[in-house]
Amino acid sequence: MYIVTGANGGIGKAITEALAKSGCRVVMACRNRQKAEQVRQQIVSLSGNSGIEIEELDLASFASVKEFAARLLQGGEKIEALINNAGVMCREFGLTEDGMEQMLQVNYASPWLLTHLLLPALAEGGRIINTSSCTYRLGKTDEHFFDVTAENYGLFKIYGRSKLGVLMFTAELAQRLEGEKITVNAVDPGVVDTGMITMHRWFDPLTNLFFRPFIKSPERGAATSLYLALSEAGRAVSGGFWINRHLRKMPKDVIPQEARGKLWELTERKLKKYLEK
């Protein structure tokens, strides 16, 4: 079983379609079941693979993450790959129902929680694929990682912080899972033509005109995640940062184990209630 978060649009849809065409059984983890069902039907029709199902998951709700994981664990099926693809970029400051800044929760904290809850179901040789971004360079981590207010909010600052968190989580989890025959890697899909840069209109018209030739299609944006999900590379390497299907060095910000450990402990404290059985 392959799990893809945010599977009903953009990169997630492209990943799901390619997995379906490869004969994989896929769980589309999506917030909007009605919208996801339309996509599911398209993919089944295109691929001839009926083993595609939908499970509701709202990453802006820790309760939803826990309920989703409980349903999958109850089924008893082994997970070949967990692809934490879903993400948001929010121009305006906002808090989730859990009181956390929305990008930090959807892009970082909820994938962290989901991964931990599903670890018991990962098959031998299972793969965890996290989605980061080159904007990690704009982020920083310290004891105030989760302390975001309307006054100190900045779109790229907090988005970058969430993506730096993903890289640090990837490196730390890979180290903690050494010898477990489960790999953990992060990908940077690049700038992809999805609702994140069109519907939300964070490019002004002139910037859009300049960057348009460099923007990838969802299919190209999905290529590295698919490579790690289906190839031997995804089984052979753990703790890597991948761009355009090539392994890159983890950024120097991510290497210090003390910083990674502190963020891990901080996140664990935040999510303690949802990690308890």
Q: Which residues are catalytic?
A: 159
Distance of alpha carbon 12 from alpha carbon 4, whole angstroms: 7
114 touches 169 (CB < 8 A): no
Give the SS3 label for residue 182.
coil
**Taking the alpha carbons of 137, 211, 8, 75 in that order, is the dihedral positive or negative?**
negative
The 3-state DSSP class for residue 23 equals coil
Residue showing tokens 């730390």: 172
Provide the pairing of β-strand 26-30 with 2-5.
parallel
221, 11 in Cβ contact below 8 A?
Answer: yes
Give the span between the Cα atoms of 111 and 162, in whole angstroms. Answer: 11
Q: How many residues does the chain have?
A: 277
The span from the CA of 32 to the CA of 206, in Å, is 33
The whole-angstrom separation of Cα 167 and Cα 259 is 12
**What is the C-alpha to C-alpha distance for residues 275 and 173, in angstroms, rounded to an integer?**
16
